[in-house]
Amino acid sequence: MKKLLVASMAVFALVACKKVEGEGGKSSISGKVAVDHKLYVNGLYQSTVSYDGAKEDVYIIYGNESDGTMYNDKIEASYDGSFKFEYLQPGTYTVFAYSEIFHTGPNVSNNDDDYYTFEKVSQTVTIGKKEDATVGTLTIIK
């Protein structure tokens, strides 16, 4: 009877320990941030300058969080815009950064009513054990 109890507890322990997305694995997700900086003079668009997204914040969501309002981790992109989330468990992840979108107000001659909004630029990827995945380039607007 004791052997049956011990064996059933061992089986239960193995079945109950399901690893979920997050830290503690051997996989990674990498990518790059690029910035398209739109230049405005007196509220009128003039041109766009593109450059690597050095020091831009990059966020990751573990799993399939439906509303995406909370992130699980954040890193800063390197000098060349590259980033890498390391030591991840197998699963699905969403990596994102924020664009800063400029909006002109209704009064063109008065810049006091111009404003910015933030919009998420994201990529979702599923990784396996010991896999190094890439999300490519996240191009954000400033």
Which residues, in sequence order, are bridge partners of residue 49? 37
pLDDT at 7: 53
Q: Greater confidence, 105 or 24? A: 24
For residues 84-113, average pLDDT: 86
Q: Which CATH code for domain 20-141?
A: 2.60.40.10
Summary mean pLDDT of the chain: 85
All structural domains of the chain with their residue ranges:
20-141
The answer to whether the Cα torsion of 102, 105, 109, 110 is positive or negative is negative
